[in-house]
Every structure is written in structure tokens, then in C-alpha cells.
Structure 1
Amino acid sequence: MTIPLQSQFLWIWRYLMRPLWRALVRFLDHDGPMLGASIAFSILLAIFPFVLFLVALSGVLGQDTAVRDFIGYAFEYLPVEVGRTIYPVIANIMFSPPKGGIMTFSMIGTLWVASSGVESLRTALDRAYGVESRRPFWWRRLQGLGFVVGGALGILIVMLLIVAGPLVWSAFAALVPVPETLEATYNSARYLAGGLALAFVIWGLYRLLPNVKQHWFNPIPGTLFATISWLLAATLYSMYLQNIANYTVTYGSLGGVIGAMMFFSFTAMIFIFGAELNAALMEQSRDDSVPDQDGSDGIAGQIDTGEIPRRVTARVILFDSADNVLLFRHHDGNCHDPRRPEIVDFWVTPGGDVEPDEVLSDAALRG
């Protein structure tokens, strides 16, 4: 059975091009480039304290070599010019570890600075999803510290597995003759493992940081986009720095720092766009599930829309067993971004009053 060309085009537009276009519009409306520059500064500010904590933690656990292996492994993915800029500082941290211990006041301050990078990502994600962070300040900071500590422990565990992998492979190759093609496949699998680890980290940030409830599979499209785009951008930016750009001519001794900041800025914008893509797909899914306003589709035809308050232009979403309107959507200009109207969800109470989305979760549990 052959699918008509028009149907193929409509499918591509509906499930690929339209979400990407919506994500681009949201990205620009939410000042994605400016947020990317802000996050780039936070990353540059947080990366060295994070490595400092990682070195201190590895010393406590007796895994000093794992940190060095991780640094070398991570730098294989970075553009060469960016690695040359930040590696001397990281090498100084690795080979001159801090004295005192992991729970000193200076180390606690280091953790605090490192968690500030997580906070900058949270701000960008909340804006991408069009929500405000109502979590207490202490909870946000505690979650940020948890990401830093958990990330450090995860790095050490993954590096132990990566280091143990060649040992197991060598023992296996000594017992069983291994073809060269299979050995090449194994070497490629190591890089694939790095890409999967990056994807898992991005998925976790999309899933846990924003103040929005979502299913575990909702962040997957943005995760795939961000992972593939970042790996491609790192390769292209490395080629650009080596063959075209020369920041040293313009910025002198700061050329390497500027190059690193540009790379981190591109990284942050890719990360933000992935979140905007997730939000656009969630919005499109909600819109597709809403019946038409004329009542010709689904249960909406059974409802008298005159029950909805006149001050609202609404589309019915949810009804109770007695066909009373419980939830509708309307366009409200008084939202997070005053430059363009957003769609905001409200519940209709039995008395006809309208309550904002603070009661959505409670009403959903009841209804």
C-alpha cells in the first residue's frame, strides 16, 4: 500500500516541522540566546569548583585515577581549542588537590558555587515550559547540591566501568580470538557509551529541574535533539576554530577564553531549544486532544457552552459524570510573557467561579 505524497507531507509537517517551528518561536520569545549567554557564564564559573569537588571526593573514595580518566575521556568530545583553554586550570586542580577534607567550609562553598550552574539551568527550563518556580529556595538549593554530588558519584562509577571494560575485553581476547572488525566495533562502542551517558544526564535535567509534571517519555524528543546537535556542534565548532576563526587576533590573550565562552553559549542554546521542543510537543499534544469549538467532535457536542462564563473564550477539555464543565482553556494576556497571549488552564467550580491553575493538581486527583 502506497501512502499518497500529500499525506506524507502532512505527516512530516504535523509531527516534525510544526513542532520545530513552534519550538523556534518559543525559543526566540523566551530570549533563548540571552539565556544561553547567561548559562555559559554560569557553566564557566561552576565547572572548576565541580572538578575541585570531584577530585576531593575521589581522594576520599581512593579513586584518583578514575578522575584523570574521566577528564581525558571528556576532553575527547570537546573542541581542541576549548580544551587547550580550560585544561591547564583543571590539570592544576587534579595534580594539586585541596587540603583539609571534603567537608571543610571552603569545600562547602565550592559546592554552593557549583550548584549555581544548576540553578541557571532551572531558570531556563522553567521559562521554556512557561511556568514559575514555586519551590522554596532551600529546596531548590538542596536539589542543586544533590545534582552536583550525584553527578560526581555517577562520574566515578561510570569511569570505573569504562576502566574495567578494557580489562575484561583483554581477558576475553586472550581466551577467544577476536576479529579486527569486532575490536573496532568495541572501540566505537566506548564513544557510543559516552553519548548515551550525555543523553541520560540531559534527560534527567529535563525531567527533574523544571516545575512541571510530565511523564518519563516527554523529555525524550528534546533529549535526542540536544544530544545529537551537541555532538555535531562540537565537531563543527572544532573545525571552525582550527580552519576559520582566530580569536587571538581580536581578543589577544583572552582569545581562548572567548572561544570557550562561545562554545558554552552554543551548548546552552542547544539545551534550551531541546526544552522548548519538549514544551512545544506537549502543547501540541494537548491541543490535538481538545475537541473542536463547534462541538462536532467527541463529548463536547453534549455540552451547552453557555454554562461557561462570558468573560472567557473557552474550549472545553474535561467534564464530570453529569456533563458539567470542569476544565476549559482560554487565552489570557496577563501571563508570564506580556508580549504575547498564552493558553492558561482554569478549573470551573460548582458555583461558576474561576480559579487559577494552582488547584489543577488537586482537582485532577479528585476528578
Structure 2
Amino acid sequence: MLHTNLPKNRFFRGAYLMVRRYLRHGVGIQSAALAFYLLFAVFPMLIFISALLGLLHLDVASVLADLHEILPKVAVDFIGVYLIHVEENSNVRLLLFGLVFSIFFPMRAANTLMRSVRTAYRLGPPRQAALHLLRTLIYTVLLLVTLTLTLVLMSVSNTVLQYAVAHLHLPAFAAWLWSTLRFPLAGAAAGFALLALYALTQDTRQPWKNLLPGVVASLAAWLVLSWIYAAYMENIANYSLLYGSIGTAMALLVWLYMTAVTLIMGAELNGTLISLRRETPEEF
């Protein structure tokens, strides 16, 4: 029996339940935690890459000579200073530090996501801790690959492509192809990762109708938000002038937060639809 204070219309009843779920399940707080974990994962990864380059003992002069053929002198000089710095400051302990925290923070992010999905589906604590840990490890790897791919696709904008065509001899067709396909490719990667998230979190195999609606809705919302945000950052915002170098981290953090909200709310939508099919929303 439905509560009498719920809207009679099925659509408005679902919207009411979604808002109630957002508040009761702390979606805003979980999204903020997820965004911070993902942002924290970036810096140890940069430390790991820098330490690894230093330990490889690259022939800096040879590398710079090759780069002079494709990059402007200013860019080559900057890369040269960076490579010399990491070679002179190579450290195994720094490498291990970067490696450990490059795994730790993405694992925390994956665990936060999976916990939020389990809350949306009302699954409770995992039944098998070892199996849950294995699933978290698998999804951590998938999350890292997906984030790297989507960040590259989102970051290489039309302005960067035009510069590459003009100065780096990038074929115009390749630039057009990248510009045309970057959002569909990002959407396909995110959709696969999202479907894997909802499926791996379950204790038992779920029918498609309990997974796909949230995946489609979350993916559509993420693509729209990413497109709006990318257009805003490229054409309107001048965050670097206002905030300096920290502006890049702020912009990335906002995008990660919006991404986290859409991912979690997709699971909440699935939970709401399950509730409506059972006509027992009072349990939520």
C-alpha cells in the first residue's frame, strides 16, 4: 500500500522518490568524497611517472633533438628542464610512494562508488568480503583506464587540435575525426564502465531492466553536463587569470563532482524504478 502523501501520478511519484533518495542516501556527500578521491589520485600518478622517467636514465639530448622536429622551441625547452630535473632527482622511494597511492586512492574511489550503488539497491554490506575486494580491484583498474581515456578525450579540445594542425603537422582529417568522435567515444567508454559498476556491485545476477535505465540516464546526463562544461571552460571561463595554476585543479574537481553525482543518481534511478514496479516505495 502506498503512502497517502505520495503523488498519485507515477512520474511525479518517481521524481519525489528520487529527491528523497538523494537526501536520505547522502548523494551529495558521497559525490564529494568520490571527486576528492579521484583528484587525489592524479598527483601520486604524476609523481610515479616522474620518478619512473628519472630511473629510466633517458638520453635527454636525443629525446629533445627528436622533439625539436615536431614541437615549438618553447615547449621543447620546458620538457628539457622537466626531464633534467626528474633525472637528477630520481628516487626509488618516491617511485614506490607514487605507485602505492596511485592504487590506494582509485581503490577508495571505486569502493565509494560501489558502496553508493549498494545503498541505492538496498543490498546492505557485502556478503563475501574476499569476493567484494576482488571486484573492487577489478573495477579500480577499469576505472583508471576509463578516467584516463575520457580525460584525454575531454581535454584535447578544438583549440588544441587547431594548434596541432598548424604547428605539429597533424592532418586536418585526423583533427576533424577526433573532434567528431571524442564525445561518442567518451560516452561508449563511460557507458561500459557504468554498466560494469552496476553489475559487479550486485550479490546476484540482475535482469537488464534493473541495470540499463540508470546506465542510459546517467550516461545521457553526463554527456550533456560534460559538453556544457567543456564549452564553458573553452569559450567563457577565464579561471587561469583569476586563480592561477590552481584553477586547473578547481576545474577538474568541478567536473569530477558532476560526474560522481550522475554516476550515483543512475543507480538511484534504478532503485526507484524497482520500487515503483513493486509499488512499495515506503521501504525507501
> What's the TM-score bracket when you normalise by the shorter of the two chains?
0.5 to 0.7
What residue is the counterpart of 2:56 in the other structure? none
What residue is the counterpart of 1:33 in the other structure? 28
How far, CA to CA, are the matches of 2:183 and 2:226 in structure 1? 14
Q: What TM-score do the two structures reach when normalised by structure 1?
A: 0.48
Find the partner of 1:284 among 272, 276, 279: 276
Task: Please identify which structure carries the higher helix content.
Answer: 2
Alignment of 1:173-192 (within 5 A): 188=180, 191-192=183-184
Find the partner of 2:125 among 117, 121, 133: 133
Does structure 2 conserve the Cα–Cα contact (< 8 Å) formed by 1:226 and 1:270? yes
Find the partner of 1:209 among 193, 201, 208: 201
Alignment of 1:97-176 (within 5 A): 107=99, 110-150=102-142
Alignment of 1:191-206 (within 5 A): 191-206=183-198
Secondary structure of the corresponding residue to residue 195 of structure 1: helix
Shift in alpha-carbon separation, 1:267–1:191, aligned structure 2, 3 A = closer
Q: Deviations over 1:142-182 (max 9, x none)?
A: 2222223356678999xxxxxxxxxxxxxxxxxxxxxxxxx
Q: Which has the higher contact order (CA 8 A, sep 6+)?
A: 2
How far, CA to CA, are the matches of 1:106 and 1:118 in structure 2? 18
Does structure 1 conserve the Cα–Cα contact (< 8 Å) formed by 2:36 and 2:253? yes
Shift in alpha-carbon separation, 1:33–1:193, aligned structure 2, 3 A = same
2:236 is equivalent to residue 243 of structure 1? yes
Does structure 2 conserve the Cα–Cα contact (< 8 Å) formed by 1:115 and 1:141? no
Number of residue pairs the alignment of both structures matches? 221
2:265 is equivalent to residue 273 of structure 1? yes
Q: Deviations over 1:286-309 (max 9, x none)?
A: 22xxxxxxxxxxxxxxxxxxxxxx
Deviation, 1:141, is 2.8
* Structure whose alpha-carbon radius of gyration is higher: 1
Deviation, 1:39, is 0.9
How far, CA to CA, are the matches of 1:245 and 1:279 in structure 2? 40
Shift in alpha-carbon separation, 1:115–1:37, aligned structure 2, 3 A = same
Deviation, 1:278, is 0.7
Alignment of 1:344-363 (within 5 A): none
Shift in alpha-carbon separation, 1:238–1:283, aligned structure 2, 3 A = same
Q: Deviations over 1:48-94 (max 9, x none)?
A: 55788999xxxxxxxxxxxxxxxxxxxxxxxxxxxxxxxx9xxx89x
Does structure 2 conserve the Cα–Cα contact (< 8 Å) formed by 1:30 and 1:127? yes
2:276 is equivalent to residue 342 of structure 1? no
Deviation, 1:280, is 0.2
Q: Deviations over 1:198-241 (max 9, x none)?
A: 21111111221255652234211111111111111112223444
Alignment of 1:213-232 (within 5 A): 214-232=206-224
Does structure 2 conserve the Cα–Cα contact (< 8 Å) formed by 1:22 and 1:277? no
How far, CA to CA, are the matches of 2:46 and 2:136 in structure 1? 16
Task: Give the gaps of 5 or more residues in structure 1.
Answer: 1-12, 56-87, 158-183, 288-328, 332-340, 344-367
Does structure 1 conserve the Cα–Cα contact (< 8 Å) formed by 2:14 and 2:272? yes
Give the fraction of aligned pairs with identical amino acids, expressed as a percent.
25
How far, CA to CA, are the matches of 1:262 and 1:272 in structure 2? 16
Does structure 1 conserve the Cα–Cα contact (< 8 Å) formed by 2:146 and 2:190? no
Task: Give the gaps of 5 or more residues in structure 2.
Answer: 1-8, 51-77, 150-175
CA RMSD in angstroms comes to 4.5
